[in-house]
Each structure stands twice: as structure tokens, then as C-alpha cells.
Amino acid sequence: MKNITCKMKIICKYNSFVFHNLILYNDLGEFMAKKKRKVNTKRIAIVALIPVVCIALLIANFTSIRLSIKGYHKEDKKVVLKLEKDDIKDILDYDQIIDISKWNKVKNDSHYLLYDEYYRASKKSVKKVVYYIDSYYERMEDLNYLGYTKNVLFKNSELYTISNLDTLISANVPYKKAKKYLAVKGAQIQDIKKYVDSGLSPLKAVLQVSYPGIDSSKKDSRSYTIESPEDTLILIKNGFSVPSDYVPKDLRDVNIPYETEVGQLRDEAASALEKMYKDGLKQGYSIVIKSSYRSYDTQLAVYNEYFAMYDAAYAASLVSIPGSSEHQCGLSVDLTSQSVMNGEYGTFGETPDYNWVEQNAYKYGFILRFPENTGDRTGATNEPWHFRYVGKEAAKEIHDKGWILEDYIEHHGFTYNLRLN
């Protein structure tokens, strides 16, 4: 009986042990399952987080990436990324790559896009571009208010200097009112308010306000430098000069007889004079070059010689101030004739040769520049020997209407710009 009881106890203990272990095993299984689920959840979370992090990094560096794709290197990117957001956006939208390092060679206010745009429009040096843009930027709000946008200013950088920008702001004339006057060749910005207030047509306003000295009888204290001396229609006289170092690029010897030295003119004028000489020769007239192109230094020597011989007022009526002589532009020629050189006549103006040239010069593009009784307007005494090349079209109109060059300019205006000295 005791054995049975002991066996029963043993069986009960074993069953209790097994049951207990089963419970523990189940609990452990559940624990391990839970742990496994936690590990999987973490893994899933980490995997899910990776693209989020990548997107966040992409967003954070998107601008830098775009700059790299556009072609900006590391150092230039650092500079650009320090700019204002709007400036960065404008640089990214710009269709050119800006050489940031080039502009940072000089002290600047970091207006890199404007530097590049103005540089491409003006072709000026880095230093001049930075000075202009930094100065322009300080005035940009006032200029935009008046309608002088960067597109307007950059297209004509020679006209819109910083000084002229200040004048426009001070004059307070909107671009809509000013542009028709500023479109006239030779317009001077400092006179813009007078142009608008004059009530005259743009051409008349510019010529009457800024250039009364076209007519030498109207005294004008201002003087101008011609910015395009190669123009065949330039008005060159006292008050209207070319640079002292100007030498026509297409000067050449003229293939007709000369008095003391081979004549030189610009190619177009030389060809026209050669044809006139040949046609005159066929009709029995023989013209000879007395004087043609003169350099600034040669004109200075002539000028000093005349002032040594005569009083100042008389000398000034006989010889042009250096820089204001038509001879320097390579378009004017002083003529004589074989008949004068042979002693048949005393001066060219007395000869049949002169009469033929005076009547026919316009057919070849020449005009008698200083006719009789026009000295008050031309500023020079009568010179029957002095002929000026202006081209056939202008010469014919001047001849047909009985004009002088001053009349032509007053009617048509300038075909070039002038700089106030």
C-alpha cells in the first residue's frame, strides 16, 4: 500500500513538473514570439525610415545638387548658397553658368547675376562692371519706379552712366516720356527735362536744346567729341571735334596728280575723287590735289603757323582748331588745277576747272564745304578749293536744295553719338 501511495505521489509530482514546464514553455514561446515580433517591427521601422531620411537629405541638399548639375564647383556653390533665396533661384533659372570666382577678385556686393548680365551686354572690365552694378543697385528702386529697367539700361550702357542715372532720377522724367527723345542720336541726358518741356518734336528738341552750335552764328559754350569719326556725315568744326589720336583705318594714296605731296583720303572718298578726275580729264579739265588728309599734329603745326602770322580772330577764321579740322577725318580735299600750276590762273576759284568741279562734284559724293556768304553759319571763310565727301545721296540733296552741311544736319539730325566734353 505504501508503495502504491509513493508511486502515486511520484506520478503527481512528475505530472505537476511537466505541467509546470509546459506552462513555462508556452510562456517562453509567447515571449520569444513577442520578441521576434518586436525585432521585425524595428527592422520594418528602420527599413521604412531609410527612404524618409534619404528624401529629407535630398530636400536639404536639393539646391546644392541642382547647382552641381548646372556645373558649379564646390567653392562657387558655397558662395551661392549664402545668398538670399530669391537670388539663388534667379541664378538657378539663369541660362548661363556664372564664374563666381572671377567677380570675387574685386570687392563687390555679391550681385553676381547682374554682374554677368551687364558684362555680357557691355563687354567692360570686371572692375568697371562691379562698380556700375553695385552703384546701379543702390538706385534700382527709383529707376524701376520711373520705368528704367535693367533691360533698358543694359542695352545702351554707354548712354546710361551712373552720373546720367542720377540725372534721370533727379529730373523725375518717366521712361515712357523720355524714350522718344533718348532714341535720337546725340541726345544728352542732362537735357532730358528741357526736351520734354520744349513741346518740340524729338529731333528738333535735341538739336535746338543741345546743339545750337551747329550754326556757328549761335554762340554755344559747350563742345562735343564725335564718338564715331568714321561716319561719312560727321559735322566737324569748332565745337565738334574728333579725338586727337584718331586716324582713319582705310586711308590710302589717291591716284591723281598732286602739288607737293601724294594725297591721301579714305578709300571711298579716294575712289570717288579718282573717278571725278578721270571724267573731268575727258572734258578737258585737270584737277590736282593741294592738300588732303592731315594728322592732328600736322594740323597743330598749321594752326600755330597761322596764329604766328595773324591776329587771333583772323587766324581762327582761316584755320581750324586741331581736332576740329575736316582734313583729319580723311574726307576732305583742297584742290587746285594744272592751269594754276602752269601759271595761267592765279587761284583755283578763277579757273574753268573750278566751275566744272563746283557744278559736278555732287555726282561723285562731294560738296563745296564753305561756299561764299555762309561763313557766319559754317564758321569758316569762303574756300572755293575745299571739297568734302559726304556720299552721293547726301551730296545730291544738299546740291538740289542749295544747302550747306549744317542745313542737312539740322534737317536730318546726327547719324552718330556725341559726348559732351
Tens digits of per-residue pLDDT, 60-117?
467 888 888 888 988 998 999 999 999 999 999 999 999 999 999 999 999 999 999 9
pLDDT of 161 > 90? The answer is yes
Residue 209 and residue 257 in one domain: no
Answer yes or no: do 159 and 308 share one domain: no
For residue 325, pLDDT over 60 is answered with yes
Q: Does the pLDDT value for residue 23 go beyond 80? A: no
**Domain count along the chain:** 3
158 pLDDT above the threshold of 60: yes
Domain co-membership, 270 together with 371: yes
119/46 same-domain check: no
pLDDT at 63: 84
Q: Are residues 242 and 133 in the same domain?
A: no
102 domain residue, yes or no: yes
- Is residue 116 situated within a structural domain? yes
Q: What is the pLDDT of residue 302?
A: 84
Residue 188: phi and psi, rounded to 5, are -110, 120
**409 within domain boundaries:** yes
- At residue 32 the predicted structure's pLDDT band, cuts being 50, 70 and 90, is low
Nearest Cα to Cα of residue 186 among 222, 148, 150, 140: 222
CATH number at residue 250: 3.30.1380.10
Q: Are 207 and 230 members of one domain?
A: no
Q: Is residue 77 part of a domain?
A: no
Phi/psi at 367 (5° precision): -130, 150
Does residue 197 fall inside a structural domain? yes
Residue 194 covered by a domain = yes
Task: Give the model confidence (pLDDT) of 240-297 as tens digits.
Answer: 999 999 999 999 999 999 999 899 999 999 999 999 999 999 999 999 999 999 999 9
**Alpha-carbon gap, residue 126 to 381, rounded angstroms:** 49
Q: What is the pLDDT of residue 30?
A: 56
User: Residues 160, 230: one domain?
Assistant: no
Q: Which of 196, 214, 232 marks a domain boundary?
A: 214
Query: Is residue 177 located within the same domain as residue 150?
Result: yes
Same domain membership, residue 253 and residue 199: no
Q: Which domain holds residue 329?
A: 224-420
> Does residue 369 share a domain with residue 259?
yes
- Looking at the structure, do residues 154 and 129 belong to the same domain, yes or no? yes
Among 185, 214, 243, give the residue marking a domain's end. Answer: 214
Question: How confident is the prediction for the chain on average, in pLDDT?
Answer: 88
The answer as to whether 74 is a domain residue is no
230 and 363 fall within a common domain: yes
25, part of any domain: yes
d(CA 364, CA 275): 8
Q: Residue 45's pLDDT is what?
A: 57
Among the three residues 192, 214, 236, which one is the final residue of a domain in this structure?
214
Contact indicator for 298, 391 with CB cutoff of 8 Å: no
